[in-house]
């Protein structure tokens, strides 16, 4: 069985109440889900979102409240990281990054300054300078604090490898883009409006069907969309928190399991992971379970590559908990608990044989 490594990004600065210390590397027991610490790469400010290339030899990071992206080499035998280079992203507070279909470019969203950049990946894995920026424009939503600018929050590539989809929290919209490879920039292909004040944050695609699911941060809802190429057509809107919850909460992360049978979402405030069943005929969601995250501000969660465990990063209480995923998609808490400062992102990578 191949060795599995986990890379955990975090917040480090006082402005984010950060108590992290860089990127932490762990070896993962694929049977129990336990983490064993391998390395802490210090000297990094807010490495808040990470991505590993398809070859498993390079890791990339954006840095919250800063203006750069960083490339690292991965030692496939040990999982350890080594700094390769840094490049400006052309804007403030880069918040997400994703590879294009070829794996030779990295798309980055600048949340604070409403732009997206395409950074070329060089043959040695280093990042090259972006040729130009694409401005993200549109009308703003009604929230006076959280919708002061467009605030692009996520830019994953769809499973067909043709379009990047950009939920814009401040603009109550989701915009799709295609890459103009000659110019090295993104060009808008389509957009769909969300409910005013919803604050679309992250999007997840169904693995087999033309469906997409968006967690709306500000009103704690999930929208189901039918996907037609670059276009999204809304089908359903459901709350991400239980009907008897009356407190304040915001949606954060969303994911679909490998079989396309369940959608998972994290709620900050309710401090839970919601599990929703996917209707096989329509793609619509029905609530199945809410489990407590046993910590505050569950900004991020992810499923391991084997689909056995779901890991929750509690940014506010500096912990990661592992949940076992049942055959019905429901979650059960394990004994796995990792203490790490202000975790914001977890990505996995397979190394050599164990």
Condensed to tens digits (0 to 9), the pLDDT of residues 127-179 reads 999 999 999 999 999 999 999 999 999 999 999 999 999 999 999 999 999 99
Let me know if 135 is exposed, middle or buried by CB neighbors in 10 A (0-12, 13-18, 19+). Answer: exposed
Paired sense of beta strands 94-99 and 81-88, if any: unpaired
Let me know if 84 is exposed, middle or buried by CB neighbors in 10 A (0-12, 13-18, 19+). Answer: middle
User: What pairs with residue 298 in β-bridges?
Assistant: 314
* Confidence at residue 354, expressed as pLDDT on a 0 to 100 scale: 52
Label residue 352 by pLDDT band (50, 70, 90): low
Would you state the structure tokens that stand for residue 300, as one six-digit string?
Answer: 């991020």
Would you state the structure tokens that stand for residue 342, as one six-digit string?
Answer: 């202000």
Could you give the CA distance from residue 289 to residue 324 in angstroms, rounded to a whole number? 14
Overall CATH class of domain 2-353 = mainly beta
What mean pLDDT is reported for the chain?
97
Label residue 2 by pLDDT band (50, 70, 90): confident
Would you state the structure tokens that stand for residue 334, as one six-digit string?
Answer: 């394990």
Label residue 353 by pLDDT band (50, 70, 90): low
Asked whether residue 100 carries a pLDDT value surpassing 80, the answer given is: yes
Q: What percent of the chain has pLDDT over 70?
A: 99
Alpha helices in 30-77 (DSSP H): none
Q: Quick one: average pLDDT of 306-325? A: 98
* Confidence at residue 182, expressed as pLDDT on a 0 to 100 scale: 85
Residue among 101, 110, 103, 100 at smallest CA distance from 153: 110
Q: Contact at 8 Å (CB) between 90 and 98?
A: no
Asked whether residue 341 carries a pLDDT value surpassing 80, the answer given is: yes
Q: Quick one: average pLDDT of 319-327? A: 98
* Confidence at residue 67, expressed as pLDDT on a 0 to 100 scale: 98
């Amino acid at each position: 069985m191949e060795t599995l490594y986990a890379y955990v990004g975090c917040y480090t600065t006082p402005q984010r109440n950060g108590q992290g210390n860089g990127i932490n590397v762990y070896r993962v027991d694929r049977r129990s889900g336990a983490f064993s610490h391998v390395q802490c790469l210090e000297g990094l400010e807010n490495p808040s979102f990470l991505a590993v290339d398809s070859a498993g030899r390079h890791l990339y990071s954006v840095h919250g409240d800063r203006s750069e992206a960083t490339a690292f080499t991965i030692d496939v035998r040990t999982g350890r990281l080594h700094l390769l280079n840094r490049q400006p992203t052309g804007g403030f507070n880069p918040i997400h990054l994703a590879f294009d279909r070829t794996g030779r470019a990295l798309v980055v969203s600048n949340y604070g300054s409403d732009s997206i950049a395409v950074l070329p990946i060089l043959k040695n894995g280093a990042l090259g300078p972006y040729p130009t920026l694409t401005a993200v424009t549109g009308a703003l939503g009604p929230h006076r604090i959280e919708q002061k600018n467009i605030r692009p929050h996520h830019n994953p590539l769809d499973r067909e490898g043709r379009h990047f989809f950009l939920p814009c929290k401040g603009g109550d919209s989701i915009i799709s883009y295609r890459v103009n490879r000659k110019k090295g920039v993104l060009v808008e292909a389509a957009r769909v409006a969300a409910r005013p004040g919803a604050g679309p944050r992250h999007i997840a695609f169904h693995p087999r069907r033309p469906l997409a699911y968006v967690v709306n941060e500000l009103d704690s809802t999930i929208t189901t969309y039918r996907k037609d190429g670059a276009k999204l057509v809304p089908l359903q809107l459901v709350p991400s928190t239980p009907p008897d919850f009356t407190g304040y909460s915001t949606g954060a992360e969303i994911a679909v399991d490998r079989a396309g049978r369940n959608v998972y979402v994290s709620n900050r405030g309710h401090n839970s992971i919601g599990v929703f069943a996917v209707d096989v005929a329509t793609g619509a969601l029905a609530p199945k379970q809410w489990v407590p995250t046993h910590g505050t501000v569950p900004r991020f969660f992810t499923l391991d590559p084997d689909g056995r465990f779901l890991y929750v990063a509690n940014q506010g209480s500096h912990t990661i908990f592992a949940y076992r995923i049942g055959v019905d998609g429901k979650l059960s808490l394990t004994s796995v608990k990792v203490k790490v400062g202000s975790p914001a992102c977890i990505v996995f990578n397979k190394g050599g044989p164990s």
